[in-house]
A and B are shown apart, each in its own frame.
Chain A
């Protein structure tokens, strides 16, 4: 349990703040002098004079929510595609599914992010879609590789000979065998989504101008870094803690399962 302590705490602080922060944001959104630090403002005020702590309490939801939703969407789209590509006996189907993704890989993800974000109205849903598209090729590849290895197994061959339908073999057997590979990938995929969502918000993508958002806070308050660093440091620390914590926690979880279940 001890080894979960630090990673767990790193995840818990930002996630709890994101989930329950808005309930405690009693400071109101009244405006004071910009980048000041005075009584009533434990971490000072931001670039337009709002209370930094209140903004921190309000601004975690978007990063966490968008990252979770984008990761979920990625798997929802990518796993069926990978399953079909890995199980099909027609080379053409496999190629038709994979080649378009090769093209996607050739577009630098930050370029795609900037273009899509500029082309569409700034909204969370657009951001979720963009992050899903960027992560798609990798997850399809991983699922395909997982499906490929068990689709060639004697068990699947036997099921085929017994006349089981491809759907039943795919969902009932191959997909379940893929779960372990996918679980190993989940942690990095989720932090990858956090990375993209936060970087996008920092570059001004997918956040409404007035909205409270940790990444956008960092961007908007960095002009006052010399006057009032808390408005930048606090959200930056929370984002770093979330990213580091999620990666370490998933790693500990997987290692624990590995040592318990000999493979």
Chain B
């Protein structure tokens, strides 16, 4: 399939995916027991107050009507207003985007180079001590839940050794207190680094055994150049696609890590919104998170299509 045709198809699928996410999220939040009116009414709900609130919030109209209205407004950049506070949904998202982007960006900035190094080192010492150590560790920690690892690290490094603060509580800008960010980033990078470095290693092992690398060696190219310019580019194609799947892990990880370290990001906003049944906020956050996932996956599929056009791309 030619690249423009593939792009169009893939873009269309992405739009459909995001729209369906909106519908699914809407349906699920509809099914939540109780609604925002009950939440706002507080501890002593009086049926008359609840009915009045429902009318004011427009909750008494049919669900499909509210859904259609929401989609139309969202296309104009209006995500509605929080049901439980005075803020616009777009403002809530804007305010909590910063800390989450900072965490995710820092994590990626560490994960990508580190997993390349680990993968290349392991592949070059295939079967050796360093390789066995790296493969065992990356396999073992592949799916350790962030919260368990996170709280163990907090116990050791924050409670016992007191090297880092246990939470981000204390106000102020996160960037001005880099010590706060160390433990969250370490916890977040754990899972992605395991999967990525394993893929880089597998790709490198194949590449180093292949004819073109041996030929490059035979003609006397410098070893570093053979590694970086000849073997590595061929080894990273599977890792590029896995990097896209990593977004899903990062989003999940961010929710947990923000809960542990009390960081006011998207994850905290999501957990708060779900527990207070704040439908517009949940919808807005869900669309943002789903869009990120869809866009990253799209970019990775296109990158893989460009890097290896002959190989069958998963979608």
Expressed in whole angstroms, the Cα–Cα distance for A102 and B314 within the complex equals: 11
Count residues of chain B with CB under 8 A from any CB of chain A.
Answer: 55
Expressed in whole angstroms, the Cα–Cα distance for A222 and B147 within the complex equals: 11
Asked if A236 contacts B151 (CB within 8 A), the reply is yes
For B253, give the chain A residue with the smallest CB separation. Answer: A110
Asked if B251 contacts A111 (CB within 8 A), the reply is yes
How many Å from the CB of A102 to the closest CB on chain B? 7
Q: Which of chain A's residues have a CB closer than 8 A to the CB of B293?
A: 106-108
Expressed in whole angstroms, the Cα–Cα distance for A244 and B137 within the complex equals: 9
Expressed in whole angstroms, the Cα–Cα distance for A105 and B16 within the complex equals: 13
Which secondary structure characterizes the binding site on chain B? helix
Q: Which of chain B's residues have a CB closer than 8 A to the CB of A105?
A: 297
The reply to whether the CB of A88 lies closer than 8 angstroms to some CB of chain B is no
For B24, give the chain A residue with the smallest CB separation. Answer: A107
Compute the total of residue contacts between A and B using a CB distance below 8 Å: 146
Expressed in whole angstroms, the Cα–Cα distance for A172 and B299 within the complex equals: 40
Asked if B21 contacts A203 (CB within 8 A), the reply is no
> Which one, A103, A119, A203, contacts B28 given CB within 8 A?
A119
Q: Which of chain A's residues have a CB closer than 8 A to the CB of B32?
A: 118-119
For A189, give the chain B residue with the smallest CB separation. Answer: B143
> Which one, B18, B25, B139, B147, contacts A247 given CB within 8 A?
B139
Q: Which of chain A's residues have a CB closer than 8 A to the CB of B136?
A: 248
Give the contacts of B259-280 with A (CB-CB under 8 A).
Answer: 259-260, 270-271, 274-275, 277
The reply to whether the CB of A70 lies closer than 8 angstroms to some CB of chain B is no
Stretch at the interface among A18-26, A161-169, A224-232: A224-232
Interface bits A190-229 vs B (CB < 8 Å: 1, else 0) = 0110110011001100000000000100110010011001
Asked if A103 contacts B145 (CB within 8 A), the reply is no
Asked if B155 contacts A114 (CB within 8 A), the reply is no
Q: Which of chain B's residues have a CB closer than 8 A to the CB of A108?
A: 247-248, 251-252, 289-290, 293
Asked if B271 contacts A203 (CB within 8 A), the reply is yes
Asked if A192 contacts B143 (CB within 8 A), the reply is yes
Asked if B149 contacts A199 (CB within 8 A), the reply is no
Interface bits B122-152 vs A (CB < 8 Å: 1, else 0) = 0000000000000010011111111111011
Asked if B274 contacts A115 (CB within 8 A), the reply is yes
Asked if A225 contacts B143 (CB within 8 A), the reply is no
Q: Which of chain B's residues have a CB closer than 8 A to the CB of A115?
A: 25, 28-29, 274, 282, 286
Asked if A111 contacts B289 (CB within 8 A), the reply is yes
Interface bits A114-149 vs B (CB < 8 Å: 1, else 0) = 111011110000000000000000000100000000
Contacts A107-B25, A107-B290, A247-B143 known; 14 new A-B pairs at CB < 8 A? A106-B17, A106-B20, A110-B255, A111-B285, A114-B271, A115-B286, A119-B29, A218-B148, A225-B166, A232-B155, A236-B148, A236-B155, A243-B148, A247-B142
Chain A residues packing against B (C-beta within 8 Å): 102-103, 105-111, 114-116, 118-121, 141, 188, 191-192, 194-195, 198-199, 202-203, 215, 218-219, 222, 225-226, 229, 232-233, 235-237, 239-240, 243-244, 247-248, 251
Closest 3 CB pairs of A and B: A110-B252, A106-B17, A191-B143
20 sample A-B contacts, Cβ–Cβ < 8 Å, listed by A number:
A106-B17, A111-B270, A114-B271, A115-B282, A118-B274, A119-B28, A119-B33, A198-B147, A199-B146, A199-B256, A203-B255, A203-B271, A225-B151, A225-B166, A233-B151, A236-B152, A236-B155, A243-B143, A244-B140, A248-B140
